[in-house]
Structure 1
Amino acid sequence: MNRRLIISPIAEKKLEALLEYLVEEWSLKVKTNFIMHLDEYLQIIKKEPESFPESEKVKGLRRCVLTKQISIYYEFNDEEIRILTFFDTRQEPGKLADDFKK
């Protein structure tokens, strides 16, 4: 099944900020490596979206641990996969709910 991959405005904004941070604080090489790693995981999510665990609190919400600092939260149906947010796991977990209110 070939589902469309949609990135929410919140996820897009967070990803842009993360990429800027990687260049400013680390290097262009770190950013490039991160993008390659992200692309690998997005391909896995596209091919097998049910391979990552579903939230116990929110039905249909799934979490993919991209790095030890960043998790991808997404949901899917037969037609599309919607990336809801990229969450920095170093934040207070309660802040995750803020991403779903916007």
Structure 2
Amino acid sequence: MQVRWSDEAIEDYHQNIAYLLKDWSATVAIEFIEDTEITIELIKINPELYPLTSHKDIRRAVIRKQISMFFEIRDEAIHIIRFWNNYQNPNKLKL
């Protein structure tokens, strides 16, 4: 199954890594990267493992307790839409 990243997801992903490197450590940043890769592999095996959101056909995977990844399965591909800091106001999330 192919994985396609939206421009927003790429930007969010890199911003999260930059933040972790700046304010935490390289170890924590690497753990986030590895957790993201593991989550994507799990989605490939079982896309329905993660719950649907209130947005049609969009699912949410918690990467770490602070960060969620929103994705959908479409055209036999995983479309990663956004990464989201779970401490932000969810009403500001644009999917």
Counterpart for residue 56 of structure 2: 59
* TM-score, normalised via structure 1 length: 0.87
Counterpart for residue 82 of structure 2: 85
* TM-score, normalised via structure 2 length: 0.93
Query: Matches of 2:27 and 2:84 in 1, distance apart?
Result: 22
Identity in percent? 34
Provide the aligned C-alpha RMSD in A.
1.1
Give ranges in structure 2 of 5+ residues lacking alignment.
none
Greater Rg over alpha carbons, structure: 1
Counterpart for residue 93 of structure 2: 96
C-alpha deviation, 1:12, in angstroms: 0.3
Query: Matches of 2:5 and 2:44 in 1, distance apart?
Result: 12
Counterpart for residue 72 of structure 1: 69
C-alpha deviation, 1:77, in angstroms: 2.5
Query: Matches of 1:78 and 1:46 in 2, distance apart?
Result: 13
Other structure's SS at 2:4 match? strand
Provide runs of 4+ in structure 1 moved above 4 Å: none
C-alpha deviation, 1:84, in angstroms: 0.2
Query: Matches of 1:31 and 1:89 in 2, distance apart?
Result: 17
